[in-house]
Amino acid sequence: MSVLLTGATIVTSLHPPTVVKGDVHVSGGRVVAVGGGVNEAGGAQRIECDGCLVVPGNVCAHTHAYSALARGMLYDLPPPTSFVEILQRVWWRLDRALDLASIRASGLVAAREALLAGTTTLVDHHASPNAIVGSLDVLAEAFEEVGIRSVLCYEVTDRDGPERADAGVEENRTFLRRVAEGRWPLARGMVGAHASFTLSDATLAACVALAHDSRVGIHVHLAEDQADQADAEARFGQRATNRLASAGALTDASLVAHAVHLVPAEAEMLRASGVTIAHNPRSNMNNAVGRAPLGWLGPRLALGTDGIGADMFEESRVAYLRLREEGLDALEGWPLTPLAEGSAFAGRLFGEPGLGRIEVGAPADLAVLDYAAPTPMTDASLISHWIFGLSAASVRDVLVGGEVVVRDRRLTRLDHGELVLEAREESRRLWGRLDRIGPHEFSPTRLLATAGGE
């Protein structure tokens, strides 16, 4: 399939910001020509892009697609007063209510919303303790059906008992094997782990061993709330980062989400390890867990939504404004540098260093925005347009791996309306099951006994 985008303003790179005028020719899944004077012999699908901005597809570096069906869910328990209570009363009830049908529906909806927002890669962290086996296959199939690129893992944890912890490790193992066999061209795998405070040493070691054998990284939450640190200190006499590092979980292929509650030595350890950190500002604000020390975290800092959709225009704008609220010396290149870093992370998993750029040879993952810039669009002004002008609502067309997967704001691979109606039906069933599930009884101190006590 060959596609020619004509007459566009093209953002070829977010870091450094680079804007050119002209055409983009896509063939065999890749960008084969970009800029002025593109010659195309004919036969390509032509997409007129006059007055449009073409940008690299965004990467959401940390999300939970299963939360797609949580929007508007009824909540009739006492209001949570802490982060751990939010988990016990909301997310750890939702994940136990998931079955394979609702995982599929949530995957379709999450992928649909992501593509319509110009996000072409989702890095997902999945949990469904009562439907572990095959859950990643279902999610990969759903993402593939819609046509989005993804990096998947199963969130291993001890909070639902040792059998489910083992099953989680096995689900990662099976999925990684199938990915290696090339079953889903658009999917890659990691080894998922929940967070230090719900992991025993043995389970954490099993995750690290699998990641090592599979030559992939660990995807884990770190220090999202102070509870993670309090638990690591109580059970292991060390900070959560030190615990993950000494277990071998922090490599340059790994991904940690949040990293809010750190001391400087932990930030230094993260930087030295080469791990990528996914910052999720909207989620952190929504959960009142605090602010990540962004200035300490080094260059391998990407952006995620933690399940609040996949609109990276919105997430990056909030990230920027939240940072500015702290002081006027915002980090250089923000918010484009962390978006570029998310692409670089995904690019390493796919063996595609060009991912996140619109340059010859790069995979053609891009979005066409119907954005008539009211002021000049240049390398220097791109950041300002990004923060104060661009929006997911302007996304018109989207290509992933060279295929047009959104055209005129509609999915091309699936029936748009049907997908949403099915999701609504599935969420009613999911909410019905969730209604019968009480707050999770696990709390950070619960694993003390198995750790030998202190």
* Closer residue to Zn ion (CB): 224 or 426: 224
Q: Could you tell me which stretch among 65-73, 141-149, 150-158, 253-261 binds Zn ion (CB under 5 A)?
A: 253-261
Whole-number Å distance between alpha carbons of 310 and 64: 10
Judged by CB under 5 A, the residue of 137, 306, 311, 365 near Zn ion is 306
For helices 100-116 and 416-435, give the axis angle rounded to 10 degrees: 130
* Closer residue to Zn ion (CB): 282 or 385: 282
Q: Could you tell me which stretch among 95-103, 141-149, 255-263, 355-363 binds Zn ion (CB under 5 A)?
A: 255-263
Minimal distance, residue 165 CB to Zn ion, in Å:
18
Q: Does 124 bind Zn ion (CB under 5 A)?
A: no
Minimal distance, residue 240 CB to Zn ion, in Å:
15
Minimal distance, residue 387 CB to Zn ion, in Å:
25
Q: By CB under 5 A, how many residues form the interface with Zn ion?
A: 2
* Closer residue to Zn ion (CB): 3 or 278: 278
| β-sheet bridge partners, residue 284 | none
The number of beta carbons lying within 10 Å of the beta carbon of residue 95 is 25
Cα–Cα distances (Å) from 242 to 62, 245, 360, in that order, read 22, 5, 42
* Closer residue to Zn ion (CB): 203 or 280: 280
Minimal distance, residue 62 CB to Zn ion, in Å:
6
Q: Which residue in the block uniquely carries the two structure tokens 């699998």?
A: 210
Residue among 397, 394, 369, 365 at smallest CA distance from 46: 397
Task: Give the amino acid at 90.
Answer: V
Minimal distance, residue 92 CB to Zn ion, in Å:
13
Cα–Cα distances (Å) from 411 to 74, 260, 328, in that order, read 30, 36, 40
Q: Does 155 bind Zn ion (CB under 5 A)?
A: no
The number of beta carbons lying within 10 Å of the beta carbon of residue 334 is 19
Minimal distance, residue 221 CB to Zn ion, in Å:
5
* Closer residue to Zn ion (CB): 144 or 306: 306
Q: Which residue in the block uniquely carries the two structure tokens 């599935």?
A: 426
* Closer residue to Zn ion (CB): 306 or 341: 306
Q: Could you tell me which stretch among 2-10, 166-174, 249-257, 261-269 binds Zn ion (CB under 5 A)?
A: 249-257
Q: Could you tell me which stretch among 83-91, 172-180, 303-311, 400-408 binds Zn ion (CB under 5 A)?
A: 303-311
Is the peptide bond preceding residue 335 cis, with omega within 30 degrees of 0? yes
- The number of angstroms, rounded, from the C-alpha of 416 to the middle of its chain's C-alpha atoms is 23
In this structure, the strands spanning 403-407 and 395-400 are antiparallel
Minimal distance, residue 224 CB to Zn ion, in Å:
7
Q: Could you tell me which stretch among 158-166, 208-216, 306-314, 325-333 binds Zn ion (CB under 5 A)?
A: 306-314
Minimal distance, residue 306 CB to Zn ion, in Å:
4
* Closer residue to Zn ion (CB): 158 or 306: 306
Dihedral of the alpha carbons of 192, 194, 199, 201, in degrees to the nearest 10? 30
Residue with nearest beta carbon to Zn ion: 306
Q: Could you tell me which stretch among 67-75, 148-156, 285-293, 300-308 binds Zn ion (CB under 5 A)?
A: 300-308
Residue among 366, 389, 320 at smallest CA distance from 11: 366
In this structure, the strands spanning 301-303 and 276-279 are parallel
Minimal distance, residue 187 CB to Zn ion, in Å:
19
Task: Give the amino acid at 179.
Answer: V
* Closer residue to Zn ion (CB): 257 or 346: 257
* Closer residue to Zn ion (CB): 92 or 371: 92
Per-residue burial over 266-290, b if 16 or more Cβ lie within 10 Å, else e, is: bbebbbebebbbbbbbbbbeebebb
Interaction site with Zn ion (CB under 5 A): 257, 306
